[in-house]
Amino acid sequence: MQVPMGGSLKRVEEDIFDVIVPHVRFFDLWVQPRVRCRVRLLSDPDRVDIRCVECILDGSPGVKQLRLNERVEFDVHTTFIPQHESVRQFFGP
pLDDT digits (tens, 9 = 90+) for 4-42: 777 898 999 999 999 998 889 989 899 999 999 999 988
2 has pLDDT over 70:
no
Q: What are the structural domain ranges in the chain?
A: 2-82
Q: What is the mean pLDDT of residues 46-66?
A: 92
By three-state DSSP, how is residue 4 classified? Answer: helix
Strand partners of residue 57: 33
How sure is the predictor about 82, in pLDDT bands with cuts at 50, 70 and 90?
confident
Do the beta carbons of residue 38 and residue 51 sit within 8 Å?
yes
Output the CA angle 65-67-71, nearest 5 degrees: 155
46 has pLDDT over 90:
no
pLDDT of amino acid 67: 93
